[in-house]
Amino acid sequence: MHMPTRTEPLRQQPTRIGFERLAGSLALLLCCAAAVDAKQDAADEHSAPIVIAHRGASGYLPEHTLPAAALAHGLGADYIEQDVVLSRDGAPVVLHDVTLETVTDVEATFSDRCRDDGRFYAVDFTLDELRTLHVHERTGGDGRAAFPHRFPAAGAQLRIATLEEHLALIRGLNTSTGRDVGVYVEIKRPAWHRHQGVDPSPVVLETLARHGYTQASDRAFVQCFDPAETRRLREQLDCQLQLVQLIGSVSERVAGDDSPTMCSAEGLATIAEFAEGIGPAMQLAYGPLDGSAPPAPTGLIAAAHAAGLVVHPYTFRADALPPAYANRGYGALVRDFAAAGIDGGFTDFVDATRSALHARPVAAPAAGASAVMP
């Protein structure tokens, strides 16, 4: 797996002026210290789990908007996630749900376009129609904010964006920053989509290919909850990108997702036939998280590694801590999972996650450093 590169913090880049003011022996010492520090940084980066921005920087901006993706890039994400559903005219749009009302003002604009169940489905709208909607912070069934302390519900002119637009944004930011942030695309409810007369997987793969994502060595993952679809991506649609089989907790199970079977050694061996990793609900990897007992590795991470699979659990949220970490805090949650051996994790809070993974004592200022400060 590719590991991210990172610009070294300023304190590890002694300036030319600084060196001129130092005696030879001191300069040598400083040089060695910086080299050791840089080596440590490189080692940390190499062994640290990758940080996947779950629906962009969704802890700070409405999920899956282009500003949320841009912020995730700026906060230091290694990968940025895009959930994909299709419009009526077959355009891949970046939305978590196949329905629209929990994150947009669709009821106000198209009040008569709901189905008999009262829901507004993205696949019933053309891309041009979807583009007229305003995106807001996620609300629950009662219309109240799902996360009350996040971005305010009203006021910002945020819009639904296509997969194409997200990929172009990330490519542009990679160019302007010199970083190489990857993409992590989820195919949402593929069987349901086909029942509606559209097929998301080929559209997603074609879109990724147009943006240069075609091979296992490219900075892209494709993920799906439906194991039949993940297998289809590899075996029938010839997807060479890294594939991740999502595994829901029992309460989140969707059609085709049989968590206990998939988490068994036999199930993991089956997944390894067509995928490079698993994305389990976090408590399947390390738990219990409900506070009923001290959490510990469940065995899933070791079993997945034994099957040759990487493990990227979801979802790390600093503002919705599991009861087991109510007192110890977000940093402890992230570090415990890292110590348990995860290879990456989905988070709404890229910055807090990076801080927890890379925290170590700040070195004392180098001798002479103050002389070069303005």
Question: Interface residues with Ca ion (CB under 5 A)?
Answer: 83, 186
Angle at 270 between CA 269 and CA 271, to 5 degrees: 90
**Distance between CA atoms of residues 289 and 313, nearest Å:** 13
**Distance between CA atoms of residues 201 and 215, nearest Å:** 16
User: Whose Cβ is closer to Ca ion: residue 83's or residue 343's?
Assistant: 83
| Smallest separation (angstroms) from Ca ion to the CB of 54 | 7
Answer whether 366's CB lies under 8 Å from 37's CB.
no
| Smallest separation (angstroms) from Ca ion to the CB of 348 | 11
**Peptide bond before 315: cis, by omega within 30 degrees of 0?**
yes
User: Whose Cβ is closer to Ca ion: residue 71's or residue 366's?
Assistant: 71
**Catalytic machinery residues:** 54, 96
User: Whose Cβ is closer to Ca ion: residue 30's or residue 181's?
Assistant: 181
User: Whose Cβ is closer to Ca ion: residue 279's or residue 322's?
Assistant: 279
Q: Looking at beta carbons, which pairs linking 120-124 to residues 24 or more positions away fall under 8 Å?
A: 121/196, 122/85, 122/86, 122/87, 122/93, 122/95, 122/97, 122/98, 123/85, 123/86, 123/87, 123/88, 123/98, 123/193, 123/196, 123/198, 124/88
User: Whose Cβ is closer to Ca ion: residue 137's or residue 186's?
Assistant: 186
| Smallest separation (angstroms) from Ca ion to the CB of 139 | 18
| Smallest separation (angstroms) from Ca ion to the CB of 190 | 13
| Smallest separation (angstroms) from Ca ion to the CB of 81 | 6
In sequence order, what DSSP letters do the residues of 119-187 get, joined into one string?
--BGGGS-HHHHHTSPB-S-B-TTSSBSSTTSS-SSS------BHHHHHHHHHHHHHHH----EEEEEE
**Distance between CA atoms of residues 286 and 234, nearest Å:** 29
Q: Which residue is nearest to Ca ion (CB)?
A: 186
| Smallest separation (angstroms) from Ca ion to the CB of 231 | 19
Residue 18 has a CB neighbour count (10 Å cut-off) of: 17
Rg (CA), the chain: 22
User: Whose Cβ is closer to Ca ion: residue 281's or residue 304's?
Assistant: 281
**Distance between CA atoms of residues 251 and 261, nearest Å:** 15
Cβ neighbors of 31 (< 8 A, separation 6 or more) are 14
| Smallest separation (angstroms) from Ca ion to the CB of 16 | 47
DSSP H helical ranges for the chain? 16-20, 24-47, 66-74, 106-109, 127-131, 163-177, 190-195, 200-210, 227-235, 259-263, 265-271, 282-285, 300-306, 330-339, 350-358
User: Whose Cβ is closer to Ca ion: residue 96's or residue 303's?
Assistant: 96
Structure tokens at 225: 């909850």
Structure tokens at 158: 């945020």
